[in-house]
Structure formats: structure tokens, C-alpha cells
């Protein structure tokens, strides 16, 4: 009994510890002034209204959404058929894919962006400074999440046998994929899309190094405001946090329903 | 002319031959069982017949038409998988309707055929359930209905009953046989269960290490095994080597002598007549309607099955007995 209380205590302490900075930021973003006093002064939504009326913020937010959604569309179009092809036609490649998808984690973005800068600064594909280079970079960030989750979903169903059964009933391979395999992937796909999205929305290093202010995204905007009002950036961080939180919650819900 | 003709089928993975030189012919409406231990190549053979795995060599003809190179979609072959392979995202009705939808039949025709098929396998009332909500036996029936509804020319069943418990297995296998007879459907059934093979089949093909080692009626395969491997697989045959055979029965054999345990008559020693073989009971096992004795006669251990008629007839371990074996029941088998 006391062991259980101890465990609960530890968990609660951890939650408080993790929540404190967020709560602090929240309170800061809602107060008029909080500098020389222990407690904040005046409750206001002023920072939020200023933020959500700021065109530069809205544009950066829009840029982030464009890059994130663009990446997710690209990833879905490439990775879903790839996962199916690997599991159905080349099951042995799965092992190599699992190594391949770890590479983006192995090389820090700061390092790989140096390489990307020299590769795409000029030459046949001068992509640096355009959002297009982010689509490619973000694809490599989304790849591990999407490949793993889709691959797990596929492992849960016997792909080969289901496709064989559909073939014998007269379906072509694309038809079998569309009506039998894809529905089984839907939840895994949605969950992995949500997780990738919240990850990509918070991406800073690639965005700053490769594109910067030429196509300002949310994180770069935040960085550029570092010398401005702390209340204002707190409101920005809280807004960003709310979006990410909502998405993560959705992802978990889909993930849970998948497991059930 | 035979309805299905398979000639010279062979398949190997690298140096390992899964099966080779498989040739057989089936009549229309025949129920044939491929019987063999797991790993003997029978499931792969079935996949090759269905066109899911290309064979290395051989031809298959159905009703005179060579379908060796036809896509699985074009063969008119239905198959029930060991794991059923039901589409998890579809209801029972959608699963059964899938093949008909692929044929682009009108909605009312599809509905009628699905209803008939579900009626045939006695699953009406479960149309809207998803496979996950069904019992093993019900899933098996859905899989059967799904492959029957498209009216295949040949039905392939890959160990369809192996995942079910004994009671359901018996009911369902009788049902499969009834339906197959009613539809006059040419059927190849794969199993490693000899009882299943014996009760269901018009003919049994015994497979061992990638070859069909014997083809024949259930009766023939059971009482006249062609080889030691078949005898070992078909039941609890007593297999006597040449020394034992000479000593016990005064008979010279090249390979082995196979004797069914129920073909040995066992008498209490008191009833012994001249010409019988004296033996001693060393072990007895009650199997229900049958008692299986292990007896020792001149240093040779034999299994003897005897009907369990009366408790008074049970023989204790150590009892002196006498054996009689009809020479007709001695089957010489090649090694």
C-alpha cells in the first residue's frame, strides 16, 4: 500500500515538475506585467489578440502549415505504397529499412544541414532558401515514425494471405491493396501523421539553417522575436503548445483505438 | 478424360526441392485429400495449383484448358486458407460479396447469391458481424462461403479445420463434405490428420518429402500401405523387420512387414489352439471403445487393438495370451 503511495507520489511530482514551466509561461502570457514582483500584475488577453492579429505571425503560421502538410502528403504518397511493397514483395528489405530509418536520428540536423547547404546552394537544384528543401528534409524526419507505425499495422494483419485471398476472388493487386490492406492501415496512418505533424511544426534547425527568414516558419519567427516582449513570445509559445497538445491527444486516441 | 490433370509439377527453393514430379488426375466432383506430415510440401503444392506461387515445372489443365500460366484471378479456383484470411475490415456479408463485386454483378444478384451462400453454410443472422466477433468455426464457414459463392471449378482447402477444437472439427468436416457433394465440386483437401483424410476422401494422395508416395481409396491406403512411410503415417501399424518377421511368422521379407493392430487376434492363453503365437501382455491402455495392448512375443513388441466389449474380458499386464494373424492382413512394405 505504502509502495503504491510512493509510486503515485513520484509520478505526481514528475507531472508537477514538467507542468511548471508550461504553467509559468501560461501565466506570463496572460499577465500585463511580471517583472519585479513575486506575483504577476493584471490579467489580460492583450498579448494573444496582438499575436493573432499580427500578419507576420499569421504568415509564418501559414508557412509552417504549408510545409508540414506538404511533407505529410508527400510522405503518405511515398511511404504507404513503399511499406506495402516491402511487406508484400520484398519482406527481406524490412530489416534494411529499419536501419535506414534510423539514419536521420544518427546525423544531427546541424551537421546534415551543412551538407545540404553546400549541395543545394547552387548547382542543378538551387533549393536553399525555398520551402521545397524543407519538404525533403521533413520527409526524412517523418519517415521513421511513419514507416515504423505502418509496418507494425501491416504486421498485425497477414498481408500476403489477405492479398492472395483477394487475388483468388478476382481482385487485382492494386484493388486488393485499396480495399483490403489500406483500411487496415488507416488508423496507424492517422496516428503516425499526427505525431509527425506535431514534430514537424516544432522543427527549427533545418528551417533556420536552410531557409531562414526567406520563408519564415513558426519556429524561425519565434527565434527572430527573441529580443521582443517576453509576454508576446509566451502567448506565441502557448498557442503553439495548444495546437501540438491537441494533435498529440488525437494521435494517442487513434493509437489506442488501433490497439483495441 | 479427367477434369483436372496435373503433370510433372515441381518446385524448389535453391537446392531444397519442396516437391517434385507431382502428377495426378481428378474426376469432376471428386474429393481428394493430400495427406502428409507438416513440411512435406503439400501446402506449397496447393499454392502452385492456385497460381499464387509459380511452379518450376509442370502443367495444370482444367476441363481440357491449360491454366498453368493464367493469373490466379483467371483460374476459377477457390481456396480456403488455414488462417481463413477473412478481410478484417469487412462484415461477413461484405466478405462473401467481395468476389461477386469483382465480377461486377448487379447488386440484387450479389445480394441473392450472398444470402444463398450464407444459408448453405448455416450462417444466416451473422451478416453484419465482423470477423473479429466470430468464433473459429464461424470464421471457417465465412471463408468457405466466400470461396463457394463465386462458383469455382476447383476448391482447395488448406488444413481448414486444424485450428478448431475436436467437436466442431467433426461437425464441420461432415458439413464440408455434404456441401461438396451437393455442388458436385472438385475438391482438393490438405491435411496432416489421417482420420480426417479417411473419413472425407474419395481418394487419398499420401505425400512424403515432396512426392506423392501413394494414391488410392481410403480403404486401400489404410489397409495396403505402399511403403513404410505411409504405414508409419496411417496409424499405429506394427512394423516388423526381416529378422523379426522370420522369427515370429516364418516369413522372408525384403523391407518391412506391416500389420494393423486391429488385425491381430488375441486369445487368453486358456483358449489357445495349436498354430497360435504365444505372447505376454506388457502394457494396456484403455482408449474408450478399444483397448490397446502391448504384447511381447519371442522378443518382439506388438500393438494389438481389441474391442472393449466387457470389463471381464480385460487382460491384466503379465497375462499369458496367444496371437493369431491372418496371412491376408500381412502387408509387405518397401523401405
Residue A259 has pLDDT above 60, yes or no: no
Q: What per-residue confidence (pLDDT) applies to B179? A: 92
In terms of Cα–Cα distance, which of A61, A219, A255, A239 is closest to A145?
A255
- Closest Cβ–Cβ partner in B47, B73, B79 for A170: B73
Q: How confident is the model at residue B197 (pLDDT cuts 50, 70, 90)?
A: very high
Q: Check B52 against A168: CB less than 8 A apart.
A: yes
**Running DSSP on this structure, what letter comes out for residue B334?**
B
Q: How confident is the model at residue A253 (pLDDT cuts 50, 70, 90)?
A: confident
The set of cell numbers assigned to B130 is 465482423
In degrees and rounded to multiples of 5, residue B116 shows phi and psi of: -60, -45
β-strand partners of B32: B188, B203
Q: Check A161 against B83: CB less than 8 A apart.
A: yes
In terms of Cα–Cα distance, which of B27, B334, B51, B20 is closest to B186?
B27
B21 or A252, higher pLDDT: B21
B225 or A39, higher pLDDT: B225
Residue B272 has pLDDT above 80, yes or no: no
Q: What per-residue confidence (pLDDT) applies to B251? A: 83
β-strand partners of B78: B155
Q: What per-residue confidence (pLDDT) applies to B269? A: 73
Q: Check A166 against B98: CB less than 8 A apart.
A: yes
Number of H helices, E strands in chain A: 13, 2
In degrees and rounded to multiples of 5, residue B289 shows phi and psi of: -75, -10
Least confident of A38-42, B25-29, B117-121, B185-189: A38-42
pLDDT tens-place string over residues A154-198: 988 889 999 999 999 999 999 999 999 999 888 889 888 988 988
Q: Check A171 against B98: CB less than 8 A apart.
A: yes
- Closest Cβ–Cβ partner in B83, B89, B103 for A170: B103
Q: What per-residue confidence (pLDDT) applies to A258? A: 54
Residue B244 has pLDDT above 90, yes or no: no
Q: Check A169 against B102: CB less than 8 A apart.
A: yes
DSSP B105-131: --HHHHHHHHHHHHHHTT-TT-TT--G
pLDDT tens-place string over residues B109-127: 999 999 999 998 888 888 9
Shortest Cα distance from A165 to chain B (angstroms)?
7
Residue B93 has pLDDT above 90, yes or no: yes
A251 or A13, higher pLDDT: A13
Shortest Cα distance from A118 to chain B (angstroms)?
47
The set of cell numbers assigned to A250 is 488525437
pLDDT tens-place string over residues B42-57: 999 999 999 999 999 9
Which residue in chain A is spatially nearest to B48 when comparing CA positions? A164
In degrees and rounded to multiples of 5, residue A257 shows phi and psi of: -65, -35
Which residue in chain A is spatially nearest to B156 when comparing CA positions? A168
Residue B242 has pLDDT above 90, yes or no: no
Q: From chain A, which residues contact B within 8 Å (Cβ)?
A: 157-158, 161-162, 164-172, 175, 179-180, 183-184
Q: Check B85 against A161: CB less than 8 A apart.
A: yes
Residue B152 has pLDDT above 70, yes or no: yes
Residue B1 has pLDDT above 80, yes or no: no
Shortest Cα distance from A163 to chain B (angstroms)?
9
Q: How confident is the model at residue A260 (pLDDT cuts 50, 70, 90)?
A: very low
- Closest Cβ–Cβ partner in B52, B88, B99 for A169: B99
CA distances from A216 to A56, A59, A67, A147, B197 (A): 9, 8, 11, 29, 73
SS3 B16: strand
Q: What per-residue confidence (pLDDT) applies to A257? A: 64
Strands (E), chain B: 4-13, 16-26, 31-35, 57-62, 65-66, 77-80, 154-158, 186-191, 203-208, 211-216, 238-240, 256-259, 264-268, 277-286, 290-297, 300-307, 320-325, 331-333
pLDDT tens-place string over residues A29-63: 998 888 878 888 888 888 899 989 999 999 999 99
Least confident of A15-29, A190-204, B176-190, B199-213: A190-204
Which residue in chain A is spatially nearest to B104 when comparing CA positions? A170
Q: What per-residue confidence (pLDDT) applies to A226? A: 84
Q: How do beta strands B320-325 and B264-268 pair?
A: antiparallel
In terms of Cα–Cα distance, which of B152, B203, B147, B144 is closest to B173?
B144
Q: How far apart are CA A34 and CA B116, in angstroms?
A: 77
Find chain A residues with C-beta within 8 A of B77's C-beta: 168
- Examine the predicted complex and report whether its ipTM is higher than 0.95: no
Left (φ > 0), alpha (ψ -120 to 50) or beta: where does B299 sit?
left
Q: What per-residue confidence (pLDDT) applies to B334? A: 80
In degrees and rounded to multiples of 5, residue A123 shows phi and psi of: 80, -160
**Running DSSP on this structure, what letter comes out for residue B270?**
G
Q: Work out the average pLDDT over A102-124.
A: 87
Q: What per-residue confidence (pLDDT) applies to B312? A: 79
Q: Work out the average pLDDT over B92-98.
A: 96
Which residue in chain A is spatially nearest to B103 when comparing CA positions? A170
Q: Work out the average pLDDT over A55-78.
A: 94
Q: Check A167 against B73: CB less than 8 A apart.
A: yes
Shortest Cα distance from A187 to chain B (angstroms)?
12
Residue B276 has pLDDT above 60, yes or no: yes
User: How many Å separate Cα B96 from the centre of its chain?
Assistant: 27
Find chain A residues with C-beta within 8 A of B142's C-beta: none
Shortest Cα distance from A73 to chain B (angstroms)?
24
pLDDT tens-place string over residues A240-249: 889 888 877 8
Shortest Cα distance from A178 to chain B (angstroms)?
12
Amino acid at each position: 500500500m505504502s509502495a503504491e503511495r510512493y509510486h503515485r507520489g513520484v509520478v505526481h511530482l514528475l507531472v508537477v515538475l514538467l507542468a511548471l514551466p508550461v504553467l509559468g509561461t501560461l501565466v506570463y502570457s496572460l499577465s500585463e506585467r511580471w517583472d519585479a514582483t513575486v506575483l504577476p500584475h493584471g490579467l489580460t488577453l492583450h498579448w494573444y489578440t496582438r499575436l493573432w492579429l499580427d500578419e507576420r505571425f499569421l504568415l509564418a503560421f501559414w508557412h509552417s502549415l504549408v510545409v508540414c502538410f506538404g511533407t505529410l502528403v508527400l510522405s503518405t504518397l511515398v511511404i504507404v505504397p513503399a511499406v506495402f511493397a516491402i511487406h508484400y514483395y520484398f519482406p527481406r528489405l524490412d530489416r534494411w529499412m529499419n536501419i535506414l530509418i534510423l539514419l536521420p536520428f544518427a546525423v544531427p540536423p546541424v551537421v546534415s544541414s551543412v551538407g545540404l547547404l553546400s549541395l543545394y546552394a547552387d548547382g542543378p537544384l538551387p533549393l536553399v532558401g525555398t520551402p521545397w528543401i524543407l519538404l525533403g528534409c521533413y520527409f526524412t524526419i517523418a519517415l521513421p515514425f511513419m514507416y515504423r507505425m505502418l509496418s507494425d499495422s501491416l504486421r498485425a494483419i497477414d498481408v500476403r494471405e489477405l492479398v492472395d485471398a483477394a487475388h483468388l476472388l478476382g481482385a487485382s493487386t492494386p484493388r486488393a491493396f485499396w480495399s483490403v490492406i489500406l483500411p487496415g492501415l488507416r488508423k496507424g496512418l492517422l496516428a503516425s501523421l499526427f505525431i509527425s505533424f506535431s514534430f514537424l511544426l516544432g522543427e527549427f534547425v533545418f528551417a533556420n539553417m536552410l531557409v531562414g527568414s526567406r520563408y519564415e516558419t513558426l519556429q524561425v519567427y519565434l527565434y527572430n522575436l527573441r529580443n521582443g516582449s517576453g509576454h508576446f513570445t509566451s502567448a506565441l509559445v502557448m498557442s503553439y503548445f495548444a495546437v501540438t497538445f491537441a494533435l498529440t491527444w488525437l494521435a494517442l486516441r487513434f493509437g489506442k483505438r488501433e490497439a483495441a | 478424360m479427367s477434369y483436372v490433370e496435373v503433370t510433372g509439377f515441381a518446385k524448389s527453393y535453391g537446392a531444397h526441392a519442396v516437391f517434385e514430379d507431382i502428377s495426378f488426375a481428378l474426376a469432376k466432383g471428386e474429393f481428394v485429400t493430400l495427406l502428409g506430415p507438416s513440411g512435406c510440401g503439400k501446402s506449397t503444392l496447393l499454392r502452385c495449383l492456385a497460381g499464387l506461387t509459380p511452379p518450376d515445372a509442370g502443367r495444370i489443365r482444367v476441363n481440357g484448358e491449360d491454366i498453368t500460366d493464367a493469373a490466379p484471378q483467371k483460374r476459377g479456383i477457390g481456396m480456403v486458407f488455414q488462417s481463413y484470411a477473412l478481410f478484417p475490415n469487412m462484415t461477413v456479408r461484405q466478405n462473401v460479396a467481395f468476389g461477386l463485386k469483382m465480377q461486377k454483378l448487379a447488386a440484387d444478384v450479389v445480394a441473392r447469391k450472398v444470402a444463398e451462400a450464407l444459408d448453405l453454410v448455416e450462417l444466416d443472422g451473422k451478416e453484419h458481424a465482423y470477423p473479429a466477433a466470430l468464433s473459429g468455426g464461424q470464421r471457417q464457414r465465412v471463408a468457405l462461403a466466400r470461396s463457394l459463392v463465386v462458383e469455382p471449378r476447383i476448391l482447395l482447402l488448406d488444413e481448414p479445420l486444424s485450428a478448431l477444437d475436436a467437436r466442431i472439427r467433426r461437425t464441420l468436416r461432415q458439413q464440408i463434405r455434404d456441401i461438396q457433394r451437393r455442388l458436385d465440386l472438385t475438391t482438393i483437401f490438405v491435411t496432416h490428420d489421417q482420420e480426417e483424410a479417411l473419413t472425407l476422401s474419395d481418394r487419398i494422395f499420401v505425400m512424403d518429402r515432396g512426392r506423392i508416395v501413394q494414391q488410392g481409396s481410403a480403404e486401400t491406403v489404410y489397409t495396403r500401405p505402399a511403403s513404410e512411410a505411409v504405414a508409419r503415417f496411417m496409424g499405429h501399424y506394427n512394423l516388423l523387420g526381416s529378422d523379426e518377421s522370420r522369427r515370429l511368422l516364418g516369413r522372408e521379407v525384403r523391407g518391412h512387414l506391416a500389420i494393423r493392430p486391429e488385425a491381430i487376434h488375441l486369445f487368453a492363453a486358456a483358449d489357445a489352439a495349436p498354430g497360435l503365437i504365444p505372447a505376454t501382455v506388457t502394457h494396456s491402455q484403455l482408449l474408450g471403445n478399444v483397448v490397446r495392448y502391448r504384447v511381447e512375443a519371442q522378443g518382439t513388441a506388438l500393438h494389438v487393438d481389441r474391442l472393449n466389449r466387457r470389463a471381464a474380458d480385460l487382460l491384466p499386464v503379465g497375462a499369458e495370451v496367444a496371437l493369431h494373424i491372418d496371412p491376408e492382413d500381412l502387408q509387405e512394405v518397401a523401405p
